[in-house]
Amino acid sequence: MAYTATIEEESKELKRLYKDLLKGTYQELSKEDIKSIRKAFDIAVEAHKDQRRKSGEPYIYHPIAVAKIVADEIGLGAISIIAALLHDVVEDTNYTVEDIEQLFGETVARIVNGLTKISHLKKDDASIQAENYRKMLLTLHDDVRVILIKIADRYHNMQTLDAMPVEKQARIASETLFIYAPLAHRLGLYSIKTELEDLGLKYTEAEVYYDIARHIKETKEQRDKYIAEFSSVIQQSLEKEEFDFEIQGRTKSIFSIRKKMLTQGVIFDEVYDKFAIRIIYKPQSKDEKHDAWKIYSIVTDHFSPNPMRLRDWMTRPKSTGYEALHTTVMGPNGKWVEVQIRSNRMHEIAEKGYAAHYRYKHGSGKETGLDDWLNKLKDALKTTEADAVDFMENIKLNLYSKEIYIFTPNGEIKSLPKGSSPIDFAFAVHTEVGHHCRGAKVNGKIVPLSRELKSGDQVEIITSNSQKPKLAWLDYAVTSRARSKIKNSLKEEQKSIGEEGKEILRRKLRSLKIKYNNTTINDLVSYFKLKTSLDLFYRIGNGSLSNTELKKFANRQSRSFYSIFRSKSRSDKSESFVGKDEVSQKFDLLVFGKDEENLPYTNSKCCNPIPGDQVFGFTTINEGLKVHRKDCPNAVNLRANYRYRILSAKWIDSTQREFKVNIMVSGVDDVGIINNVTLVISNTMNVNIERINIDTEAGYFEGHVRVSIKNIDQLNRLINNLKSIEGVTKVEREKKSK
């Protein structure tokens, strides 16, 4: 419907909107606050007077709507309301950040400046977009209100998205599902999160959205009748106990119903817990928990609970600050009903999130879950990742994932994302514990470090000063903290191995009668198709470049024409290889998933990936596995809407791939010999022991060891080193696994 209001009608509407803005504030406003808000309102109206939205309505309606969301639904105070009113002024008009600071102070100016920077983000390129989102999240260092106002801004844009062109609708909606809905969820803005998800689905999968909406509408009368019948039974009992309460019937969101349909493989009618009520009570005593459990007891006196669906978020609130008691009971006619029990304080925190959380926390002097999460996020943001899209995927995982609660040996509780491993727990305890993690006990039993932890597990980390992070840990580390610490450690180890490799290469070249100098190093880098000298040293140090390959190089060097006709310009140019501070890779193999499988695939035509590109796999319906670059124009949309069809992928250097080999070692059983065997293996060119089994009997021992090696030269060196141990009589490679 076209916008047709007159100037007089718009003037009246502005007055109404201003009154409504002040009337709906969550925080109490002083006379000085109201005066400053009026001043910001007038400046915003004047600044945007000649601007119109796509719908035709005055642009000023948008910042006022954002301020209303900030004041009422998010519950922030005067500073945030002023910043929301002015959030587009610097970007769209002649006002500067300095002007804002002079008029409203440094805090408002800083928030407006942060919002202006976010507005300048480019949207077309996925990798640029992800990098810019990282920069956006960095504003948390300055003021989390920047993010909260930006969420309000996006929320209103989604509410008015109908006026935008179709292609922009899809992009903005995908972007919303990709980052803004998870952020709203993590900051406790559940109502806004739900609306963002539903609106995101509306513009990305319209047919699905309207089909579910139609089903909900058609069943509304029946559902309301059922909820009223269910609630009346509980209501009578609560009134007898003289509770001051309110019962709200609620329908699951369209997005959550769609999610259940996908994950459970069912149709709309088969989603079993579409019915839900919320009991909001005013505590009878100082003990809110006692009252909540009393209400729970009343509910379960009438209806049988599902013991697997009890969630006590009061004893251990979510890291968003959310508190409540959830249960699912069997209602009349065999229908499951979810019951949420909250005090009015808990309800405020659930609805307002961050703002209410801090309002009730004020003066307690106690750090809560939300503070802890914000600190973890800030810590993650400090780490520079090579791939911003991967960074955003990790952040999103930590934003949106369900939480599990793990106990330390001393009974302290650590909150981790669902899917976390002992490695994640180790780094959550302390960085040094993570770095030196050698093994883990879960509930008293030693388990693999890849074990997925479950809520309630008690975990003890076994450490060793000689242990260092391994590349394989990245396959089962989930948290951004653990992953960033592992990657940093691996880079340091690469440099260390590179230094060793440099000395090894010096000795090997001497034995081959080749001078060790910059020209030779550059020739080696070029010959092996590498990019940096450190890359060369690292490969020598870890054994992936063998003696045989160096001899081939030496034979080529000995040919006189190679030295005579080598271009001087090429030699000069190659000097740039020496001393670079990074390890590069020659990419010749694409592998998929955690197990690094070599699967058949085709390259997508939309982005034409080549070896070395950051890529992911996408399982199509008719064309098998397609590979896309992570900065593909379609990347954000595919990841936001079809995550279940995404397969991680990466290009690797096949010479760096490790192979599993079984070795049999036997000899005279003597004191310390088994320890000597394991030490020799560990000290041979960074060989890792995968499995070891040693039996002893009557002075004789026999061991079967499974190791990870890179090539035959490394294996032969290991076998020779083992044979040199006093007491070892036989070492051989086994043909079959033991």
Specify the 3-state DSSP secondary structure of 239.
helix
724: tokens are 């040199």
Q: Residue 630 contacts by C-beta under 8 Å, 6 or more apart in sequence?
A: 126, 127, 387, 389, 390, 613, 614, 615, 616
User: For 388-405, what is the HEC assignment?
Assistant: HHHHHHHHHHHHHCCEEE
- Give the whole-angstrom CA distance, residue 632 versus residue 610: 12
Q: Which residues are registered as beta bridge partners of 275?
A: 251, 337
Neighbours of 540 (CB within 10 A): 23
Residue in 57, 72, 91, 713 annotated catalytic: 91
Q: Residue 507 contacts by C-beta under 8 Å, 6 or more apart in sequence?
A: none
The 10 Å CB-count burial string (b at 16+, else e) for 388-426 is bbbbbbbbbbbbebebbebbeeeeeebbbbeebbbbbbb
Residue in 13, 72, 92, 500 annotated catalytic: 92
Q: Is position 91 annotated as part of the catalytic site?
A: yes
- Give the whole-angstrom CA distance, residue 484 versus residue 521: 32
Residue with tokens 């009997």: 697
Q: Is position 338 annotated as part of the catalytic site?
A: no
208: tokens are 């699905």
User: Which of 486, 394, 476, 401 shows the shortest CA–CA distance to 130?
Assistant: 394
525, 535 Cβ separation under 8 angstroms: yes
241, 294 Cβ separation under 8 angstroms: yes
- Give the whole-angstrom CA distance, residue 570 versus residue 562: 13
- ∠ CA 718-722-727, rounded to 5°: 180
- Give the start-end residues of each E strand in 3-95: none
| Catalytic center residues | 91-92
